[in-house]
């Protein structure tokens, strides 16, 4: 059985539970999904500082999983955050393919042409713009629309969240260069299907896109689960996978 490791780089267990249920449902019974939660950091990533710490927390969670289950290493790793903190760092160290909710949904959306993003948290716009540049999709990314509540706040009040997100998606769809809308956020898992009836353009669920893409990427050859650095003053698990 294939194993998909999902890492929630914030500290909110309810987000991990939401991810576990949705990702397992998408992956199907032939895949074992294990979702782990960051041991430190912010309850929800919604600013530059929390994003930076989340990258460290992601690496720590991955290293902890490797050390705890050396004989059950994952076949793929999914970063359960729309923004993919630590994406390139973990991809450099992991023998298994690594992707994130934003990368996967951006790559899916650009196949249809221009796309817009709708997500929770006003401070996400510049962070997602930088990520889009790094992923090479700035030409296809038409606009980023944010709503004030964070993903956790939206998840905790789904009825009002659907109305708010539908309005933002409708606004994004008014641009004739937009062909699809990405509804991004771990806390928004499953909401795209509820928003879709209110929007004329296809809505992409970032959790669905992330799961499907993670399971489609082949295992790289010759890679090892190691960091190319000698750590100091980090967790024992990170140290164990660093250079000696």
Who wins on pLDDT, 102 or 243?
Answer: 102
pLDDT given at position 70? 77
pLDDT given at position 226? 86
What average pLDDT is seen over the chain? 94
CB 137 within 8 A of CB 110: yes
Q: Could you tell me how far CA 176 lies from the centroid of its own chain?
A: 27
* Span 139-147, average pLDDT: 96
- The string of DSSP codes covering 129-197 is HHHHHHHT-TTTEEEEEEESS-HHHHHHSHHHHHHHHHHHHHHHHTSTT--EEEEE-GGGTTHHHHHGG
Cβ neighbors of 1 (< 8 A, separation 6 or more) are 30, 31, 32
* Span 37-44, average pLDDT: 96
Q: pLDDT tens for residues 148-192?
A: 777 778 878 788 889 999 999 999 999 999 999 999 999 999 999
* Domains along the chain with CATH numbers: 2-100+212-240 (3.40.50.12500), 102-206 (3.40.50.12500)
pLDDT given at position 222? 64
* Span 217-228, average pLDDT: 80
State how far the Cα of 231 lies from the Cα of 244, in Å rounded to an integer.
9
Q: pLDDT tens for residues 12-37?
A: 999 999 999 999 999 999 999 999 99
Burial 186-207 (b: 16+ CB within 10 A, else e): bbbbbbbebbbeebebbbbbbb
Closest C-alpha among 242, 237, 239 to residue 65: 237
Phi first, then psi: what are they for 7, rounded to 5°? -115, 120
**Which one-letter DSSP state was computed for residue 61?**
H
Helices 124-135 and 101-110 pack at an angle, to 10 degrees, of 60
Is pLDDT of 98 > 80?
A: yes
pLDDT given at position 244? 67
* Span 40-45, average pLDDT: 95
Find tokens 């023998």 and name the residue: 95
- Tokens at residue 222, please? 């010759």
Q: pLDDT tens for residues 180-222?
A: 999 999 999 999 999 999 999 999 999 999 999 999 998 877 6
State how far the Cα of 237 lies from the Cα of 244, in Å rounded to an integer.
13
pLDDT given at position 151? 75
Confidence label for 53 from pLDDT (cuts 50, 70 and 90): very high
């Amino acid at each position: 059985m294939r194993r998909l490791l999902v890492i929630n780089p914030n500290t909110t267990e309810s987000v991990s539970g939401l991810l576990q249920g949705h990702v397992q449902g998408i992956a199907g019974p032939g895949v074992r999904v294990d979702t782990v939660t960051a041991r430190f950091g912010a309850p929800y990533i919604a600013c530059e500082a929390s994003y930076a710490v989340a990258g460290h927390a992601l690496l720590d969670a991955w290293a902890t999983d490797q050390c705890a289950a050396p004989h059950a290493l994952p076949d793929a790793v999914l970063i359960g955050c729309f923004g993919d903190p630590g994406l390139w760092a973990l991809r450099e160290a992991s023998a298994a393919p690594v992707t994130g909710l934003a990368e996967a949904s951006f790559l899916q959306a650009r196949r249809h042409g221009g796309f817009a993003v709708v997500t929770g948290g006003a401070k996400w716009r510049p962070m997602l713009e930088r990520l889009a540049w790094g992923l090479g999709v700035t030409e296809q990314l038409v606009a980023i629309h944010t709503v004030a509540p964070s993903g956790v706040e939206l998840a905790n009040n789904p009825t009002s969240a659907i109305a708010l997100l539908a309005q933002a998606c409708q606004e994004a769809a008014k641009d004739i260069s937009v062909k699809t809308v990405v509804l991004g956020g771990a806390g928004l898992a499953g909401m795209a299907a509820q928003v879709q009836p209110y929007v004329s353009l296809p809505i992409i669920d970032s959790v669905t896109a992330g799961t499907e893409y993670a399971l489609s990427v082949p295992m790289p050859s010759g890679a090892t689960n190691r960091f190319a650095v000698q750590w100091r003053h980090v967790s024992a698990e990170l140290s164990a996978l660093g250079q000696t």
